Amino acid sequence: MRFTGVKALIPLLLALALALVAACGGAAATSAPAPTTAPQPTAAPTQAPAPQATATAMPSAPTSAPAAGGSTPAATARPQPTATAAPAPAASHTPTGELRVAMATFGNERWLPGASAGAEATAFHSILENLLTRNPETGDNIGELAEFWEIRDGGLTWEFRLREGPQWHNGNGPVTADDVQFSFERYAAENSSNARAGVFRKIGGYRIVDSQTIIVDFNEPEILFGGDLNSGIPGTQYIYPKNYIEQVGDETADVEPVASGPYRLVNHDRGVRIDFEAVPGHWKLTPAFANMSFLKTVENSTRVAQLRAGSVDIIGIGVDFANELKAGGVQIKSVPGFATVGITLGGQWATKETYDPSVPWAQPDAEKALKVRQALALAIDKEAVVDVALGGLGRANVSLPFYFQGEPWTLPEFEPIGYDPDEARRLLAEAGHEGCWEFTINLVPWPGRAFLPAVGEAVATQWEANLGCRITRRPLDRAVFATDFRERTYPGVAVPYAMPFVGREPWQLLRLNSHIDGPVMLAYEDRTFSDYLDELGATADFDRRVILMQEMGRHMYSQLPRIELAEVFGIFGIGENVKTWATAPGNGFIHNTAYVNLNWAPPGQPVTLAE
């Protein structure tokens, strides 16, 4: 009998099929992670905030431009009588379905105050609440847990009065002033890895007036403290339950968190997913979705595929993927003001061995150096950079970091430098350079800013084409470059770097990354400049700060060894299930997910389902 392969192979095929099914079945059987079950939510009725709460919020800055967290401390809110606790308003809808969010990182996934460094805010914000939050429409600070607040003595004293409605999920009573003090002390602790630990360490003492009122006394003026408490960037300083954490201990609280937000934790599979469910009758809002899951998907392409396949509803992604999203027909939600991108010109850190006073853009003749920098700026078609490297999701509207057009501190003379290669060559010649020179540009994909090498490449190409520069590209991993960057010893002279939004006023970021006495110097090493930053930090009066920022801008414009290119938008990919989503200006990280498909309203006012 002639052997017939297929027939003879049937037993083997069956055996192997069984083996495969067993393997897959095994996967299914163990796929359910050991749930980290949070304590059951309280059945106690939640209470509505006082209706006058929003009326006592701090007034907006004297500008119509979007304001960021903490930018309006000059104004003071007058404390009002404590509101009478009232039942939560009946929800206009019942939460249904599930919202699924995919993101690249959950951070270190720790639920203790002071243990998380920042990236956790995205997932955490769904269950935790802050004293303040930001109005998505204006960017101004408004009360969240705090009903009202007041800044006194030029920033030395801050008083907060809490709403009476918010309750901890485990039935451990209302959110109190003790919880606030406990959380702040944890943020200030020596082992705190919180990004704003330094600010909390300036607190000299606390005064608990009553269970809902706390006065915070600083050792030195801290005029923008509100910006550290507003759920923005880097305002991830949430309020945690003192009694619960002290009762169960850090080890348990770190894996079984209790919070006060509109969702509560039901499962945390570390490094994989976090699942939440809506809290019925929550004081602030009733979410549109009954369940919400955050999935960790490190690979960008996979997140895009998940969205396109309908597996998730929201993805966090960078502008470097904008073109791919557009090509795939994915809906993009953009957030202006996420960062400003520019080229930092090196060789001029006066306190470092790498200091080179002869670099063309920082030679002793300040006038010639300025012409060189202007020439380099004029030789770049910034609109083209936005189109090519940022997928069109940015604006070439800056000449200094976060000095956006229309802001009160942006003088007409700070208008963006256009594109004029002829003028660039003329200026270069005027500065005494027959042609361009040879230098290196470092191309480093910074976390969350993977577009930077593309920006650097686009700039280098244009400098070569328009000025005849001879440029060596140096692609580097961030981890490898970090040491050089920190020490300011990096070879080569130019590096594209995007400064992220931390607050509306430009000095808020520059104080963190470019103060001459600070731990890190990313933009500008200069005593005069640092003096401006110090003075701004101690000036409670907004109008006076505007004048100081204008003066500082003039100084930067003539001296700053950096060419600002564009404002970068933060972007998210969103699926068909997402109809509305109120996000705060400048916040390019996933936030306010509890508000998806709801009509946004200030905390304390009825939040309704979007049509």
Instruction: Residue 454: name the closest of 410, 498, 421, 418 by CA.
Output: 498
Task: List the Cα angle 399/400/405 in 5-degree steps.
Answer: 65
3-state secondary structure 75-132: CCCCCCCCCCCEECCCCCCCCCCEEEEEECCCCCCCCCCCCCCCCCHHHHCCCCCCCE
Q: Sign of dihedral through CA atoms 355, 359, 364, 370?
A: negative
DSSP 8-state class, residue 306: H
Could you tell me whether strands 273-278 and 141-143 are parallel, antiparallel, or unpaired per DSSP bridges?
unpaired
Among the listed residues 59, 310, 418, 475, the single contact to other proteins using CB under 8 A: 310
With CB under 8 A as the rule, give the number of residues binding other proteins: 61
Closer of 271 and 432 to other proteins (Cβ)? 271
* Strand ranges (E), 320-419: 331-345, 394-395
Kindly report whether the peptide bond that precedes residue 33 is cis, defined as omega within 30 degrees of 0: no
* Residue given tokens 């939040």 in the structure block: 607
| Interaction between residue 482 and other proteins (CB under 8 A) | yes
- Contact pattern from residue 452 through residue 481 relative to other proteins, giving x for each residue in contact according to CB under 8 A and a dash for the rest: ---------------------------xx-
Among the listed residues 137, 246, 299, 365, the single contact to other proteins using CB under 8 A: 299
Q: Residue 44 corresponds to which tokens in the numbers above?
A: 């106690």
- Contact pattern from residue 245 through residue 284 relative to other proteins, giving x for each residue in contact according to CB under 8 A and a dash for the rest: ---------x--------------xxxxx-----------
Please say whether the beta carbons of 317 and 572 come within 8 A. yes
| Interaction between residue 297 and other proteins (CB under 8 A) | yes
Could you tell me whether strands 394-395 and 562-574 are parallel, antiparallel, or unpaired per DSSP bridges?
antiparallel
Which range touches other proteins (CB under 8 A), out of 2-10, 166-174, 346-354, 532-540?
2-10
- Contact pattern from residue 315 through residue 334 relative to other proteins, giving x for each residue in contact according to CB under 8 A and a dash for the rest: -------------x------
Please say whether the beta carbons of 463 and 469 come within 8 A. yes
| Interaction between residue 17 and other proteins (CB under 8 A) | yes
| Interaction between residue 308 and other proteins (CB under 8 A) | yes
Closer of 165 and 575 to other proteins (Cβ)? 575
Helix axes 452-467, 421-430, angle to 10 degrees: 70
* Residue given tokens 């980290």 in the structure block: 36
Cα(161)–Cα(50) distance, integer angstroms: 12
CB atoms under 10 Å from CB of 605, counted, come to 16
Least distance from other proteins to the Cβ atom of residue 37, Å: 17
Cα(325)–Cα(319) distance, integer angstroms: 9
Among the listed residues 442, 513, 530, 592, the single contact to other proteins using CB under 8 A: 513
Closer of 28 and 43 to other proteins (Cβ)? 28
Least distance from other proteins to the Cβ atom of residue 342, Å: 17
3-state SS assignment for residue 65: coil
Cα(129)–Cα(62) distance, integer angstroms: 28
Closer of 117 and 332 to other proteins (Cβ)? 117
Least distance from other proteins to the Cβ atom of residue 253, Å: 13
| Interaction between residue 298 and other proteins (CB under 8 A) | yes
| Interaction between residue 512 and other proteins (CB under 8 A) | yes
CA distances for 554 relative to 144, 337, 414, 532, angstroms = 37, 22, 8, 11
CA distances for 418 relative to 180, 379, 498, angstroms = 49, 9, 20
Q: Residue 18 corresponds to which tokens in the numbers above?
A: 């069984």
Instruction: Return phi, psi of residue 438, to 5°.
Output: -110, 130
Closer of 310 and 491 to other proteins (Cβ)? 310
Please say whether the beta carbons of 532 and 507 come within 8 A. yes
| Interaction between residue 302 and other proteins (CB under 8 A) | yes
Closer of 148 and 289 to other proteins (Cβ)? 289
Site for other proteins, residues 381 to 440, rule: CB under 8 A = none
| Interaction between residue 486 and other proteins (CB under 8 A) | yes
Closer of 387 and 487 to other proteins (Cβ)? 487
| Interaction between residue 579 and other proteins (CB under 8 A) | no
Site for other proteins, residues 93 to 132, rule: CB under 8 A = 105, 107-110, 115, 117
| Interaction between residue 489 and other proteins (CB under 8 A) | no
Among the listed residues 31, 64, 84, 351, the single contact to other proteins using CB under 8 A: 31
| Interaction between residue 79 and other proteins (CB under 8 A) | no
Which range touches other proteins (CB under 8 A), out of 166-174, 213-221, 303-311, 547-555?
303-311
| Interaction between residue 351 and other proteins (CB under 8 A) | no
Residues that bind other proteins (CB under 8 A): 1-3, 5-6, 8-9, 12-13, 16-17, 19-20, 22-28, 30-31, 105, 107-110, 115, 117, 254, 269-273, 295-299, 301-302, 305-306, 308-311, 328, 479-480, 482-483, 485-486, 512-513, 518-520, 522
